[in-house]
Amino acid sequence: MKKSFFANAFMALIMSSFLVLSAGTANAKRLTAAVADWTGGEITCQVAVSILEQELGYKVERIVFPSGTGLWEAIAAGDIDFACESWPSYAEADDVMINMDLVYEGDVVKSYSGDGSVDAYTSGIIGMSDYYVPKYFVDANPDFNDWSDLNKFKAQFANAETGSKGRLIACPVAGWNCHDQKRLDLLGIDFEAVELGTETAALAEAQAAYDRKEPFLLYLWEPHFFFGKNEMVNVNLPNHKDCESFTEANNWQDCGTAAWPATGWAKDYTMNYMNPESVTGDALAFFKKMKFSNTDQAKMLVRVGDDGLSVEDAVQEWKDSSSDWKNWLP
């Protein structure tokens, strides 16, 4: 009886240890991802999630989480483990939370000196954003050259909502920190920035205007599927003056009239953000090596935006036909 008792106790100890180890392993292989609220960001995130799950054995919970300061705070707090393809020029928390160099193809493109509560590594996507008008508008108005001519033609862009002002279909989500109205005001562009809440709503209005051959001014970014089926011309906004921090100082006057918020006519080396305590091991090694490309994302954008594939199917199709992603594996 005594022997049986000790044998059973020993087996119980072994089993409990096994369960603890198993639970720890399971937890170590679980991550929470913030899925971006624009199509290109969704694709980049799905590429990362697909590799983490299918190749590295992780279970990733996806949460649609709009970009903005709240997202970085959630990552720093550990509520979100990682987010994909955030654009540094819109990331107002970068200088506060990141303490590392942003490196692209071996070159340091920016250095941060925050508290280190969030880490970031380049995703490979180089973004550019601007304001765009349809090519048919430019063809019909040969005197239109760039952003500085917008006021001469503002009546063509006005509607009942904006009165005498022109109308910009603005960066759709306030949390993206685009500050379009401030930019317009600083540059003396007599337009009203109208935020429609989602990328889908903004593009629906723009597409309807395009189909009617009406003038419209649209905030948009590249790469994007909208350019695949509509001929658009960017207004070539001027480079912003390099301020120490657009948001910390909010120093429009200090930086001068060219100090509108940064966007991508300078290159925007997009980043994957992560919590340094939860994204470790092979997941961290993967993110350090991940180098997605504009060309590959653009192909998937067409498959999603024009051909009607789901983001998941477009990413899987790309994975099946490409081997580039295998170079990112630890």
Place of tokens 């199917």: 313
Highest mean pLDDT among 98-107, 189-198, 235-244: 189-198
| Comparison of pLDDT for 104 and 92, the residue scoring more | 104
Q: What is the value of pTM for the model shown? A: 0.68
Rounded to the nearest 5 percent, the helix, strand and coil shares of the chain are 45, 20, 35
CA atoms of 125 and 155, how far apart (whole Å): 37
Show the tokens assigned to 287: 């993110």
| Comparison of pLDDT for 202 and 259, the residue scoring more | 202
Asked if the model's pLDDT at residue 257 lies above 60, the reply is no
CA atoms of 286 and 289, how far apart (whole Å): 5
* Tens-place pLDDT, residues 304-318: 988 899 999 999 999
User: What pLDDT score was predicted for residue 114?
Assistant: 84
Coil vs helix vs strand at 263: coil
User: What pLDDT score was predicted for residue 217?
Assistant: 98
- Give me the residue spans of the domains in the chain: 27-126+268-328, 128-255
CA atoms of 330 and 319, how far apart (whole Å): 17
Q: Which CATH superfamily is domain 128-255 in?
A: Glycine betaine-binding periplasmic protein; domain 2 (3.40.190.100)
Q: Crossing angle of helices 311-321/294-305, nearest 10°? A: 130
Quick one: pLDDT band at residue 228, thresholds 50, 70, 90? confident
Residues 251-267, mean pLDDT to the nearest whole number: 42
Least confident of 82-91, 231-240, 242-251, 294-303: 242-251
Asked if the model's pLDDT at residue 266 lies above 70, the reply is no
CATH number of 27-126+268-328: 3.40.190.10
Q: Provide the mean pLDDT of the chain.
A: 82
Show the tokens assigned to 278: 């939860």
* Tens-place pLDDT, residues 65-94: 776 667 888 999 999 999 988 877 666 666
Decide whether 27-126+268-328 matches 128-255 in CATH topology: yes
Least confident of 6-15, 97-106, 166-175, 209-218: 6-15
Q: What are phi and psi of 191, to 5 degrees?
A: -125, 155
| Amino acid identity for residue 132 in this structure | Y
| Comparison of pLDDT for 152 and 115, the residue scoring more | 152
